Every structure is written in structure tokens, then in C-alpha cells.
């Protein structure tokens, strides 16, 4: 079906599942409906509506509540209200600026009146006649001595049945030449003929426990609710179904990994714990100790650890991961640490080298940039068990990589990988323990969805001595005073970054580009200093050389794209200037800011931006107000949407067609609770009441989440 526009939702009970679950009636083309010819079908196709099921699944994105019916004397400004009355006057004229205006006046008592007003629609008067009884719905405004209602929604009243309230009107995503009243009429026709064919996926006990209607009733209620509450309940039913299928899939994968697979037991004794801690040149924080305790309990089991380690920027997740890897080595097993970029992999390798300088742990860096002979030698050493720790990129999960005795796989920043990484990692050993870590704080609702089959450990506490970063949002006109502050700090021996959103100048985007900015600064404001340029289009060897020169202090000011967002750790770099900061998300700005909070000297961050939208201004205000990454993650998810923020499509979970992870978090909690209880009670979903549920889970998530045939 392709990606669907926001608000044009289909629900999981119909087309989000395979057509194999639908009756032939629902699979028919929309052309079976009266009024759908070739032109209308083409309009519907632009909304990704081709079948009857698609049409029924085109949910309203909201409702207009027209049930607030008032006499004209009781109207309030700027609130959606409905007035019922008789047409007493019609007037059309041309204004001085060339526009036309039509006014249709109705009165509900013969004395008081309200004028419906339309601009540039002279034909509108053909819809009305004197004495006709109408309902006008809209937001009235008081104009000197009378009420006006711009572009009211109009509904004729049937005189034989007396006064009537217009009711709840669904609002749909539309396309060119397709009017809302036409779409509503088509959907009503489809409901009348085909709603009864909908498959009921939810087991009766779950549906009744949660007070949810059957699918056939819910689809009628979501399109034509008698009240807003009825519409909300119908939507909740489909949100619950969508979440339940996802959580069942995650629960089944969790069960498969833990119950059917066996990992090596890697117990951490007091002696092992003491030996590992002696290698760290600092004392671990309470949060780090708690995470280590949770990991050690997992490692001691013969069921594969499936744990997410999330930490705020600079909170020390890498030290915890190193502890876990050394625990595996102490039990005569190998461990790997996989990073999304070679820059980050090399950073991890330097950290390991520093911690393990006095140890006998054998370690190796494996990346795609290795020469053929060096790679061949490395693979032979890994396969022979001559290497204990391997750090690398996706080169670690190529078919020619074989491990002698892999016990633990650690993947850093997994949201930057694709969905198949875990499955590929599992193929490296019999069944290794598995630790995902991320420095992008994740709202709980996302953790339950994207990482819903993992246990979660969280590190919020910063190590002692870490100083907070001062963040300022300034307009580009303040550039020169900022430059002077930067120059002064560079003369004192500090280093810094200038981050740009693009690599090279764009003909279509008026944004600072890294190459252009590097040249301007080198030739102008910072000509007395040593500058470097770093961006993602450079080859790995060039990037590694530039970072090494920056680390050694040969480069004082590094002009870069967001390639430095994760993993770059230079304690002396305490200055950050972000160009066009309004182009970045909150969590991305927080990650960038984390590059200048690595030492004991307070970092300084300037966000240069002249934003044009309220949302962008709000982001910049928030990031200057707090340094709490978890708080920022919640704000970012709310402002930008979770799918865009976390790239959930990468994880293969697809779009959530109905549910909103933030607004529907309570429904998610219920669905997760029910799904995991169901997996525990009927692991194969073999009960007759679970037959359609079982098929739906396999159809939707079987391949994506690497599920074996259930049961």
C-alpha cells in the first residue's frame, strides 16, 4: 500500500493484515460501490484506497461536534456552535478589491438573525431558497450589530420531523476534487453493505474485559458515532488491537529466545568483580552499579540475556558494557562490541585500550576498511579463539566471520542499524547473550514498542566531576561576539566544534554547509587557528586521521556535520557552535551538546538560528532550559512524532496506523499486559478463540521480527 499520509489511517483489523484474513467481499475493488467510476476511483487511489477494506479503514482524523445547538441570543464567539433557523435574506455583491461576498441570513425567532458568509463563491446562493429551514454550524463572530458565521457547515432540516441536531460529523483526509460529503456518502454505503464481513481478531474474553465493541460495530461507530464518546471508544478498540498484535509478536519472540535457546552461563564471582573493577580508573556510579547487577543476573542464566541499556549523554554506558564483556572473557568466552560507524568503533577501541593496558585480554578492531590480508588474519584469529574482545562495525556480521566461543554481543546505538541486526548477530555464536545500548534516551512507550522484547536498564546519574553545559540560543546577527568568545578560548588552549547541517552548499536550501563554512572561517574569522573539516562523505581513513589530529590537539577548531553526534570523546573540546540549530531535533542537539561535556571544564554551546515556526522556536527554548536527556526525549517525541524521531521504520515495525504512542500510552500498557499473559497461558496461540489472532500476528510480523511458526 505504501506510506500513507498522516490522518489517513487504516486499521490493523483490515488491510494492515494480509488480505488472506479478509473475506472476498472486503477484497473487492471500490468500483463495486454505486457512484465509483474511473474518475472517482482515481481520486480514491490518491488516498491509497483501492478495495472496500481500504475505504472502511480510512478512519476520520477527527470530528466536528455539531450537537451544541443554541438560539442566536445565546451564541458565544469562536466556539463551534449550531444555529437552526429560516432563510430570511440572501445578498451577493462584489467588493472594491475584486472579491465577491455572499451572505445568507437565517433567523430562529423572526427577530434575531445570523449571517452565513462566503467569499468568492457567487454560486452558493443556488443552494438556498427563502423560507428554507437550515442548520448553520461554525464559529460565530460579532460584527458591530449582528452575528456572522464564516463558511458555515450547512445542513437542510426536514420540516416533517421537526427540529434536529446535526450530530457528530467525521473529518477525513481528502484529495483534490474529492469533497468530504462525497467521501462520507461512499463510506456510509460501504458500511451498510460490508461492515458485517469484518473479521473479529480479538478473543471474546479480552474484548469483554477491556469493554471494547466487536469489529463490525466499532467500524460503524468510528465513522458515524452517535456521540464523541462512542467514536473514541471505537478508535480505542482498533488502537488496542494494533498494540496487541505488536506486543504479542514481541512477547512470542522473547519467549522463543528465552525458552527455546540456551546461552552459556557466565557467572560473575566476587573475585571476577574485583578484578574487573580494578581496571577502571574511576569509581562507578550507583546507576552503573545497578545496571551491572541486572546484567550479571542475566549472564548467570542459561537463557540469552535480552537487555537494553539506555543512558543519558555522558552517563557512562560504555563502562558498563565493558564490564559485561570482561565478565564473558573471565568465563573463557568471546565478546563483541558493534558500533554503527567506524569513527565510533575506533573510539570504543581506544577506550578499551586505555582500560586494558595492564591486562592480558586479547582484543582486535574489525571494520570494513581493513586491507584484505589484515582482515584474513583477523578472521583466522577470531575463529581460532585467539581473540577475546572484538570491536567493529557491521563487518562483524558478515558471513565469513566465525567465532570460536561467542558468549556476549553488545550493539551500540542499535536504532542506527536495521531490524535484522539481532538475527544476524545470533548467527555468530550458538546463542550469545545480547546487550543493546543507546545514548539516545527513549520514552517508555517507545521502549515498549521498538525494544518491547528487551528488559531495560537505565543510567541517568552523571559521573562525579562532570560539569553541565551552558546552552544559549542566539540569532545569526550575534555571530561576531560568539566568534570573539571562541577565539579567546582557543587562545587559552581549548578546542571546539562548528556543526553545520549540510556537507556542501545547496542550490535549493539556504543553509550553512560544512565545506563553505570551513573555507570562510579558515580565510576569515579564525585564520590564526588550525582548522579541520569532517563529514560523512570522506572515506574512513581520512575521517580517522582528522579525528586523531583533533584528539592530539593539532586541530583546534573542527568544522563538521552531525558525524560527530555520537561517540566522539575529546575532553579538551569544550566549545560548540551549531549553525541552523532549528534544523535539528531536540535529541540530536542534546547528542551534539554531549560532545563538549566530556571533561571537568564546563562546556559552552551556542545555537545559531532564526526559526520561522513556533515548533522550532519551542525546541530551541526547551534545549536551553534543561540538560536532562530523558525529559528532552519526551518533548522531542511530542513535537516531532516518534516514528520520525526514532526511525521506527528501520526496525521493521512499520507504521502504527491508528495508535499514537504518546496519547495512547495507557492502551499500550493494557495491550502489553494482556499479550504477555496470553503468551504465558497459550504459548502457541492454539486455542480456537486465538486462531485469527495467531494468523494475524504471523502475517503482520512473522518475517519482520524473525518469528518461527508459532507453537
User: What is the reported pLDDT for 262?
Assistant: 83
| Pair (432, 503) in one structural domain | no
Helix (H, G, I), strand (E, B) or coil at 314: coil
Structural domain span for residue 347: 270-300+316-438
The answer to whether residues 270 and 43 touch, using CB atoms and an 8 Å cutoff, is no
Pairing of strands 455-459, 306-311: parallel
- What sign results for the dihedral spanned by CA atoms 29, 35, 36, 40? negative
User: What is the reported pLDDT for 275?
Assistant: 94
Predicted confidence (pLDDT) per residue in 366-403, tens digit: 988 788 899 999 999 999 999 999 999 888 877 788 89
> Across 325-334, 507-516, 592-601, 602-611, which has the greatest mean pLDDT?
325-334
* 427 domain-assigned: yes
Q: Across the chain, what does the average pLDDT equal?
A: 84
Q: Provide the CA 700 distance to its chain's centre, in angstroms.
A: 19
The answer to whether residues 566 and 393 touch, using CB atoms and an 8 Å cutoff, is no
- Region 184-197: mean pLDDT is 93
| Pair (614, 545) in one structural domain | yes
| Pair (427, 386) in one structural domain | yes
Whole-number Å distance between alpha carbons of 43 and 348 = 54
User: What is the reported pLDDT for 156?
Assistant: 84
Q: How many CB atoms lie within 10 A of CB 77?
A: 10
Write out the three cell numbers for 230: 462512542
Split at pLDDT 50, 70, 90, the class of 17 is very low
pTM of the model: 0.69
The answer to whether residues 337 and 410 touch, using CB atoms and an 8 Å cutoff, is yes
| Pair (426, 281) in one structural domain | yes
Q: Is the pLDDT of residue 435 over 70?
A: yes
> In Å, what is the CA distance from 102 to each residue of 97, 146, 499, 500?
15, 16, 55, 52
Q: Which residue has the higher pLDDT, 442 or 224?
A: 224
User: What is the reported pLDDT for 575?
Assistant: 94
Count how many domains the chain has.
3
Whole-number Å distance between alpha carbons of 298 and 305 = 5
Whole-number Å distance between alpha carbons of 611 and 475 = 9
Q: What are φ and ψ of residue 578, in 5° steps?
A: -110, 115
Question: What is the arrangement of strands in the sheet containing 306-311, beginning at the earlier edge strand?
Answer: 363-366, 389-392, 334-338, 406-412, 433-438, 306-311, 455-459
Whole-number Å distance between alpha carbons of 271 and 340 = 34
| Pair (427, 567) in one structural domain | no
* 353 domain-assigned: yes
* 63 domain-assigned: no
pLDDT above 70 covers a percentage of the chain that reads 86
Q: Is the pLDDT of residue 659 over 90?
A: no
| Pair (420, 328) in one structural domain | yes
Split at pLDDT 50, 70, 90, the class of 427 is low
Split at pLDDT 50, 70, 90, the class of 178 is confident
- Region 245-259: mean pLDDT is 81
| Pair (432, 482) in one structural domain | no
* 290 domain-assigned: yes
DSSP 37: -
Whole-number Å distance between alpha carbons of 482 and 688 = 69
| Pair (490, 579) in one structural domain | yes
Range from 1-10, 255-264, 405-414 carrying the lowest mean pLDDT: 1-10
pLDDT above 90 covers a percentage of the chain that reads 45
Q: Is the pLDDT of residue 342 over 80?
A: yes
Whole-number Å distance between alpha carbons of 29 and 620 = 48
- Of 549, 535, 629, the C-alpha closest to 585 is 629
Domain boundary among 626, 649, 673: 626
| Pair (434, 474) in one structural domain | no
Domain boundary among 626, 661, 691: 626
> In Å, what is the CA distance from 269 to each residue of 298, 300, 360, 369, 467?
14, 10, 19, 38, 35
Residues 6 or more apart whose Cβ sits within 8 Å of residue 399:
none
Q: 434-463: buried (b, 16+ CB within 10 Å) or exposed (e) per residue?
A: bbbbbbbbbbbbbbbbbbbbbebbbbebbe
Split at pLDDT 50, 70, 90, the class of 139 is very high
Q: In the chain, helix, strand, coil percent, each to 5? A: 45, 20, 40
- Of 620, 302, 307, 584, the C-alpha closest to 436 is 307
Split at pLDDT 50, 70, 90, the class of 10 is very low
Domain boundary among 438, 455, 485: 438
* Cross-strand bridge partners of residue 573: 495
Kindly report the CATH number assigned to the domain that includes residue 531: 3.40.50.300
- Region 226-246: mean pLDDT is 93
* 346 domain-assigned: yes
Amino acid at each position: 500500500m505504501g506510506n500513507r499520509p498522516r490522518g489517513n489511517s487504516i486499521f490493523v483489523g483490515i488491510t494492515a493484515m494480509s488480505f488472506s484474513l479478509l473475506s472476498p467481499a472486503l477484497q473487492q475493488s471500490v468500483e463495486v460501490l454505486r457512484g465509483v467510476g474511473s474518475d472517482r476511483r482515481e481520486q480514491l487511489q490518491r488516498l491509497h484506497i483501492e478495495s472496500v477494506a481500504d475505504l472502511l479503514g480510512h478512519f476520520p482524523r477527527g470530528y466536528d461536534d455539531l450537537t451544541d445547538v443554541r438560539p442566536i441570543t445565546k451564541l458565544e464567539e469562536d466556539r463551534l456552535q449550531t444555529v437552526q433557523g429560516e432563510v430570511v435574506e440572501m445578498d451577493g455583491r462584489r467588493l472594491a478589491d475584486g472579491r465577491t461576498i455572499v451572505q445568507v441570513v437565517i433567523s430562529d425567532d423572526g427577530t434575531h438573525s445570523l449571517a452565513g458568509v462566503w467569499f468568492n463563491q457567487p454560486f452558493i446562493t443556488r443552494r438556498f431558497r427563502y423560507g428554507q429551514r437550515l442548520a448553520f454550524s461554525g464559529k460565530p463572530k460579532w460584527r458591530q450589530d449582528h452575528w456572522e458565521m464564516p463558511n458555515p457547515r450547512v445542513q437542510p432540516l426536514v420540516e416533517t420531523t421537526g427540529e434536529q441536531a446535526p450530530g457528530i460529523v467525521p473529518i477525513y483526509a481528502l484529495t483534490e476534487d474529492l469533497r468530504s460529503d462525497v467521501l462520507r456518502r461512499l463510506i456510509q454505503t460501504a458500511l451498510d453493505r460490508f461492515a458485517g464481513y469484518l473479521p473479529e481478531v480479538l478473543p471474546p474474553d479480552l474484548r469483554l474485559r477491556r469493554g471494547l465493541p466487536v469489529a463490525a460495530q466499532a467500524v460503524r461507530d468510528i465513522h458515524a458515532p452517535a456521540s464523541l464518546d462512542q467514536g473514541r471508544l471505537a478508535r480505542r478498540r482498533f488502537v488496542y488491537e494494533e498494540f496487541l498484535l505488536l506486543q504479542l509478536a514481541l512477547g512470542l519472540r522473547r519467549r522463543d529466545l528465552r525458552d527455546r535457546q540456551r546461552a552459556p552461563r557466565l557467572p560473575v564471582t566476587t573475585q571476577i568483580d574485583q578484578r574487573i573493577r580494578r581496571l577502571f580508573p574511576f569509581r562507578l556510579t550507583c546507576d552503573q552499579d545497578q545496571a551491572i547487577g541486572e546484567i550479571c543476573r542475566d549472564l548467570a542464566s542459561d537463557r540469552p540475556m535480552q537487555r537494553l541499556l539506555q543512558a543519558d549523554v555522558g552517563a557512562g554506558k560504555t563502562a558498563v558494557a565493558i564490564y559485561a564483556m570482561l565478565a564473558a572473557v573471565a568465563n573463557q568466552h568471546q565478546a563483541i562490541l558493534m558500533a554503527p560507524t567506524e569513527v565510533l568503533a575506533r573510539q570504543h577501541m581506544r577506550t578499551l585500550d586505555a582500560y586494558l593496558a595492564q591486562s592480558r585480554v586479547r582484543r582486535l578492531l574489525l571494520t570494513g576498511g581493513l586491507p584484505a590480508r589484515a582482515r584474513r588474519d583477523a578472521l583466522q584469529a577470531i575463529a581460532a579463539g585467539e581473540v577475546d574482545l572484538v570491536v567493529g562495525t557491521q563487518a562483524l556480521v558478515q558471513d565469513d566471520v566465525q567465532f570460536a566461543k561467542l558468549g556476549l554481543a553488545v550493539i551500540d546505538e542499535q536504532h542506527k542499524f536495521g531490524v535484522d541486526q539481532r538475527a544476524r548477530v545470533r548467527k555468530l555464536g550458538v546463542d550469545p547473550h545480547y546487550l543493546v545500548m543507546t545514548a539516545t534516551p527513549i520514552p517508555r512507550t517507545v521502549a515498549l514498542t521498538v525494544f518491547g522484547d528487551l528488559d531495560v536498564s537505565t543510567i541517568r546519574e552523571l559521573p562525579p566531576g562532570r560539569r553541565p553545559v551552558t546552552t544559549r540560543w542566539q540569532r545569526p546577527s550575534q555571530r561576531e561576539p560568539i566568534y570573539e568568545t571562541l577565539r579567546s578560548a582557543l587562545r587559552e588552549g581549548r578546542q571546539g566544534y562548528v556543526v553545520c547541517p549540510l556537507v556542501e552548499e545547496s542550490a535549493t536550501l539556504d543553509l550553512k554547509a560544512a565545506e563553505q563554512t570551513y573555507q570562510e572561517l579558515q580565510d576569515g574569522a579564525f585564520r590564526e587557528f588550525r582548522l579541520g573539516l569532517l563529514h560523512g562523505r570522506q572515506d574512513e581513513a581520512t575521517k580517522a586521521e582528522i579525528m586523531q589530529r583533533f584528539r592530539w590537539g593539532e586541530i583546534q577548531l573542527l568544522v563538521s556535520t552531525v558525524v560527530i553526534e555520537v561517540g566522539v570523546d575529546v575532553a579538551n573540546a569544550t566549545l560548540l557552535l551549531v549553525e541552523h540549530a532549528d534544523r535539528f531535533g531536540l535529541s540530536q542537539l542534546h547528542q551534539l551538546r554531549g560532545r563538549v561535556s566530556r571533561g571537568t571544564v564546563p562546556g559552552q554551546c551556542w545555537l545559531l538560528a532564526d526559526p520561522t515556526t513556533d515548533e522550532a522556536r519551542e525546541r530551541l527554548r526547551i534545549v536551553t532550559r534543561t540538560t536532562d536527556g530523558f525529559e528532552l526525549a519526551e518533548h522531542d517525541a511530542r513535537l516531532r512524532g516518534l516514528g520520525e524521531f526514532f526511525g521506527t521504520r528501520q526496525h521493521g515495525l512499520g507504521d502504527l496506523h491508528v495508535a499514537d504512542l504518546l496519547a495512547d500510552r495507557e492502551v499500550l500498557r493494557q495491550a502489553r499486559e494482556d499479550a504477555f499473559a496470553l503468551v504465558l497461558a497459550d504459548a502457541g496461540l492454539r486455542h480456537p478463540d486465538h486462531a485469527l489472532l495467531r494468523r494475524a500476528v504471523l502475517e503482520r510480523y512473522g518475517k519482520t521480527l524473525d518469528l518461527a511458526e508459532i507453537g
